[in-house]
């Protein structure tokens, strides 16, 4: 019998995502001036206030307040009507030095012997369902909000948009797990109060989302996915009514509260650890990226149509405590999942420093991960500029989303005799 599966995404202006972006911007600035920085930054945003907390061990000093304000303004919170803006909000810093008890288990004489920054399990997932090996419902949800943000910044076709938004997509699948059609699309977007007649205003918003936004989203997909967007889709656009009060004035935001949006939209599994604000010695982040890198390359190499990779650690211990693989019965090789996992452990070095080195994670590459998902984006090289009143100006050429590269397909095929 056919079944339905749903994933959601949130915009860069969602309160939790504002917090994630501030935390990762702080991390990037520390890494830009001191690549060996140990950082765990948490952010809280609410009406007119930003609170920064966490632990940092670094040889540099950064202007925390200015960085937070710049992120908020770049997102689009620049007007007094939002009750939250980068120029006027208060920024309180409660950041202190990292505990020596934690640091002694991580730092070693040899970088190769660096221990895991914490215990825990991390998951990576990949599927042939989309061209970027991501779950389709999540991929569509992200693209809806990315296009919505582009329309907001353009300010021409839809001029009333505000930064806070959410999207949700429900897909009908056949018994053999093949997408059949898109059943429901939910979009809730913050907006100006541009008409005294609420019903007329909401009708305008619904019309614009369906007739202006959705064609831009649909055009980004290949024909087989476009065919899933039928005339029978149920649209729920701002289903609670008008959505004028939003952002941190409407809801408090915290770093790390959108971990399913950040990963696979509920497909696969999640170990529970958040990413943003954490330097790569924290395996919550680096090992999750490494597990995605492994899963994606395994699927691309033809090992299975769908793969989940789990890796786990003990704090301060170099080697992972386990590596697990689940192919969901889609394996194309004559091996059990346990046998596949043993080969994966030989191909992909999951020691913390090996992950940092292989994926170039000691670079300031993290602000770009903090909205619209950490997985499924296109790897690319860019130049980033960082300025500090204490350290001057530095330009760095960095490679973004290295864990999305299909650079291990050949090695995987060789290891599996394909």
pLDDT tens-digit map of 371-396: 999 999 999 999 999 988 888 899 99
Q: Which of 317, 344, 345 is nearest to 412 (CA)?
A: 344
Contact 281, 356 (CB under 8 A): yes
Binding residues: 14, 16, 42, 55, 98, 164-166, 242-243, 251, 257-258, 274, 278, 282
Q: Which of 84, 37, 83 is nearest to 62 (CA)?
A: 37
Give residue 316's Cα distance to chain centre. Answer: 26
pLDDT at 391: 84
Binding residues for K(+): 42
* CA angle, 162 then 262 then 331, to 5°: 140
Q: Where are the domains of the chain?
A: 3-9+136-247, 15-108, 120-128+267-273+281-415
Q: Where are the alpha helices (DSSP H) in 113-246?
A: 136-154, 198-208, 214-218, 223-226
Dihedral (Cα; 258, 264, 270, 272), 10-degree rounding? -10
Give the orientation angle of helix 64-75 with respect to helix 15-33, to 10 degrees.
Answer: 130
pLDDT at 115: 82
Across 14-23, 57-66, 177-186, 350-359, least confident range: 57-66
Exposure of 104 by Cβ count < 10 A (0-12 exposed, 13-18 middle, 19+ buried)?
A: exposed
Q: Which fold has domain 120-128+267-273+281-415?
A: GMP Synthetase; Chain A, domain 3 (3.30.300)
Question: What count of Cα atoms within 13 Å lies in the side-chain half-sphere of residue 116?
Answer: 23
Binding residues for ATP: 14, 164-166, 242-243, 251, 257-258, 274, 278
pLDDT at 114: 83
Q: Which of 403, 398, 354, 341 is nearest to 377 (CA)?
A: 403
Mean predicted confidence (pLDDT) in 301-327: 96
* Mean pLDDT, all residues of the chain: 94
CATH 3.30.300.10 fits domain 15-108: yes
pLDDT at 47: 94
Backbone angles phi, psi at 158, to 5 degrees: -130, 105
pLDDT at 96: 87
Mean predicted confidence (pLDDT) in 195-215: 96
Which residue reads 């650079």 in tokens? 407
Q: State pLDDT tens for residues 95-141.
A: 987 655 555 556 555 677 788 888 999 999 999 999 999 999 999 99
Q: Where are the alpha helices (DSSP H) in 46-197?
A: 64-75, 100-106, 136-154
CATH 3.30.300.10 fits domain 3-9+136-247: yes
Longest dimension (CA), the chain: 68
> Is it true that 15-108 and 120-128+267-273+281-415 share their CATH fold?
yes
Which residue reads 């943003």 in tokens? 276
Binding residues for Mg(2+): 16
pLDDT at 97: 77
Query: Which H or E run includes 226?
Result: helix 223-226
Binding residues for L-methionine: 55, 98, 251, 282
Q: State pLDDT tens for residues 237-285.
A: 999 999 999 989 989 999 999 999 999 999 999 999 999 999 999 999 9
pLDDT at 105: 52
């Amino acid at each position: 019998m056919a079944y339905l599966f749903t994933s959601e995404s949130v915009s860069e202006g969602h309160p939790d995502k504002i917090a994630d972006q501030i935390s990762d911007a702080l991390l990037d600035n520390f890494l830009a001036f001191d690549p060996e920085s140990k950082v765990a930054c948490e952010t809280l945003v609410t009406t007119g206030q930003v609170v920064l907390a966490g632990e940092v061990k670094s040889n540099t000093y950064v202007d925390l307040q200015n960085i937070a304000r710049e992120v908020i303004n770049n997102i689009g919170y620049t007007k007094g009507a939002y009750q939250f803006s980068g120029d006027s909000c208060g920024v309180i810093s409660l950041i202190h030095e990292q505990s020596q008890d934690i640091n002694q288990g991580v730092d070693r004489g040899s970088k190769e012997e660096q221990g895991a920054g914490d215990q825990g399990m991390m998951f990576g997932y990949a599927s042939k369902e989309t061209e970027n090996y991501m779950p389709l419902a999540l991929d569509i949800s992200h693209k809806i909000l990315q296009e919505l943000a582009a329309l907001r910044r353009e300010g021409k076709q839809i001029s009333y948009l505000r930064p806070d938004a959410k999207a949700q997509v429900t897909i009908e699948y056949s018994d053999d797990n093949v997408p059949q059609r898109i059943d429901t699309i939910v979009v809730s977007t913050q907006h100006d109060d541009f008409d005294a007649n609420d019903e007329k205003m909401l009708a305008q918003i619904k019309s614009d989302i369906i007739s202006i936004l959705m064609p831009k989203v649909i055009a980004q997909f290949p024909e087989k996915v476009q065919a899933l967007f039928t005339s029978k889709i149920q649209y729920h656009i701002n289903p609670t009514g008008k959505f004028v009060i939003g952002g941190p004035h409407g809801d408090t935001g915290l770093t790390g509260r959108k971990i399913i949006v950040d990963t696979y939209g509920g497909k696969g599994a999640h170990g529970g650890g958040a990413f943003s604000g954490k330097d790569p010695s924290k395996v919550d982040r680096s090992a999750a990226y490494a597990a995605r890198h492994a899963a994606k390359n395994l699927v691309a190499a033809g090992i299975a149509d769908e793969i989940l990779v789990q890796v786990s650690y003990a704090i301060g211990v170099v080697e992972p405590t386990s590596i697990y693989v689940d192919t969901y019965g889609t394996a194309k090789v004559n091996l059990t999942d346990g046998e596949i996992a043993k080969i994966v452990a030989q191909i992909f070095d999951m020691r913390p420093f090996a992950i940092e080195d292989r994926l170039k994670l000691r670079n300031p590459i993290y602000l770009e991960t903090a909205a619209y998902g950490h997985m499924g984006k296109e790897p690319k090289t860019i130049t980033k500029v960082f300025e500090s009143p204490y350290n001057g100006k530095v330009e760095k050429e960095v490679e973004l989303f290295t864990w999305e590269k299909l650079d291990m397909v050949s090695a995987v095929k060789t290891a599996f005799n394909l």
